[in-house]
Amino acid sequence: MSPQQRPSPASEITDGGRAAPAQPPWLVQPMTIHIAQDQRYSCLLCGRCCRRFHVLLQEPEIQRLAALPWDEADQAPRDFHVKLNGYNFFRRRDDGACVFLDAAGVCSMHRRFGFDIKALTCRGYPFNFASTFPGEVSVLARMDCPAVLQNHGQLIREQRHDIEKLARELHFGKGFTPEQLQGLERRSVEMLRDHCQGIVRDDTLSSDGMALLLMAFAERMEKLGATFINDADTMRSVMPSVMANLKQELADVPQIGLGAYDRAYFRQWFTIYCRRDEEATDRGLRQRLRRALMIARIIAGGGNLRTFGKEHPDLLLRRASIFNPTRWQPSVPAAWDAYRRFLSARLDCLQFFGVSYYGAAFFTGLKALFLTYPLVLCAARIRAASQKRTQIQADDVMYGVAAIDHVHGRSPLLQYKAGRHLEHFFSTERFPQLLCSLGKR
């Protein structure tokens, strides 16, 4: 398994950075750090990250942790790491918890020696760092953390001191390449980002309306091209009419749904997003055959997502009626708050293309970000159906956001263009058809 295929650890704190070698302070390159403006995070001590994820360890960290001066009364584990597919991870107990998680649900290393002694990946979670423009880094909080998902605690921009301290331990790339920017100037990238933010924050739009308008906007801008978009004066003058035309075109889109083959294709794509990256550590033939059977059942419209992990609802997929919109009552707008926060943070930090999304170009990453909507909708419906409800609630959307955010830009299966063919399949004209098949909220 190559480094790009390794399972993401609990604190995949950077999609582009890696642990930096120790350097004298005068050799450390200055960087500008942009932190997501509206996200909040304060640890809930839920222990989820210590139970669910495999935490990657670097060799120097293993040596440092092995030398900690534990007392006999601490009963600290001596054999605390394991090698899986060539990579070192914290060992986990039979119940799935890290060997350092004590009976009170607290990290025993943290309790005994303090926060700073822990592995870098543990200290960094749930922050995600990514290089953006040259000399700049953006930071957001991952929404597979319950505290971030609930928007609980202190604004992360008020935690700048701690974030900058973490950043000094990482090495980052040179930023977006010309190919990734597709000829767009920086001000054009930020202008397009801000227009997308305006759509996301427009509370007069339903969740469907928001998703359709975002995708249509991305498609129209890509067709206009960089030369036109980089003409700031022209863009300012034409943007109102562009937005008005897009809304009119969407109102006139024929209500045509997907056929049976395309629906099976969607279920295959959805299945990839439900598969936790940690499963890559178990690559035995028996496990792979079992997993292949699960996936085949889900693609055919059956199966049970619970087979991919306990965090998924326990429900046969055919009972969820994903493609039966008449069964579902409209959800209240507030139910989609978590999804809008997910989009807003990614847009704010430009963590949707480049190193944050498999090295993809601007418009490819932007459309892939908006394609998460039907995936979250599908996940939310399954959770609601598992509780015998016909209306999606906020907790259902939060489950969907956590599941999709965990994988988006981090999946070993989607890192190659060939693996993302399903994603491209549902772009352009198939996107309205997919939402039509799923039905209006």
8 Å CB contact between 175 and 136: yes
pLDDT of residue 389: 95
Is the Cα dihedral 348, 349, 354, 356 positive or negative?
Answer: negative
Which pLDDT score is estimated for 398?
98
Start-end of H helices in 282-355: 285-299, 337-348
pLDDT in tens, the chain (441 residues): 222 333 444 444 444 445 544 444 433 457 899 999 999 999 998 888 898 888 889 899 999 999 999 888 778 888 899 988 788 999 988 888 899 998 888 899 998 999 999 999 999 999 999 999 999 999 999 999 999 999 999 999 999 999 999 999 888 888 999 999 999 999 999 999 999 999 999 999 999 999 999 999 999 999 999 999 999 999 999 999 999 999 999 998 888 888 999 999 999 999 989 887 555 556 667 777 877 888 899 989 888 998 888 889 999 988 998 998 888 999 999 999 999 999 999 999 999 999 999 999 999 999 999 999 999 999 999 999 999 999 999 999 999 999 999 999 988 888 887 778 888 889 878 999 999 999 865
CA angle 295, 299, 301 (to 5 degrees): 120
d(CA 214, CA 208): 10
Q: What pLDDT does 424 receive?
A: 86
Alpha helix (H) ranges present in 67-138?
108-113, 120-124
CA-CA-CA-CA dihedral for 48, 49, 51, 57, to nearest 10: -170
Query: What confidence score (pLDDT) does residue 11 get?
Result: 40
